[in-house]
Amino acid sequence: MLREWRLGQFAEAAELVVSELVTNSVLATRAARWPTRQPPVRLWLVSDGSSVLVRVWDAVTSPPERRAAGLEDESGRGLAIVTALCADWGHHYPPPETGGKITWAHITSPWMTEEAFI
């Protein structure tokens, strides 16, 4: 999609951000108890031609929480990576009839910072 929009320079950062946000949503959705089948996770990419907005919807209403991961931990660094790659990120709640939450991240620069990997 980014290449089609002529924003291929954002591809690496967007791939990492999408991977982290979708993984968090899938894990949160799997951990919740559902009366029927597990609901889907939805992804949107939006652009104004100079930046990329990643939006991920899941049915879980608890907000995403950034954790401090220890050196030996295998997980817990995802939102730190999102923070390092994005100008801003957060979440909001859609109308009640939709339910769940949308976690979003705004990528304004294609360049990754060293903090993403510390």
Say what the pLDDT of residue 73 is: 61
Q: What is the CA radius of gyration of the chain?
A: 15
pTM of the predicted protein model? 0.87
Say what the pLDDT of residue 100 is: 94
Helices (H), the chain: 11-31, 78-85
pLDDT tens across the length of the chain (118 residues): 999 999 999 999 999 999 999 999 999 999 888 888 889 999 999 999 999 999 999 999 999 987 777 677 666 678 888 998 999 999 999 998 888 999 999 999 887 555 545 4
Q: Do the beta carbons of residue 79 and residue 66 sit within 8 Å?
A: yes
Q: Do the beta carbons of residue 105 and residue 24 sit within 8 Å?
A: no
State the amino acid at position 55 in one-letter form.
R
Say what the pLDDT of residue 74 is: 67
Say what the pLDDT of residue 110 is: 83
Domains and CATH numbers, the chain: 8-117 (3.30.565.10)
Instruction: Number of helices (H) and strands (E) in the chain: give both, helices first.
Output: 2, 4
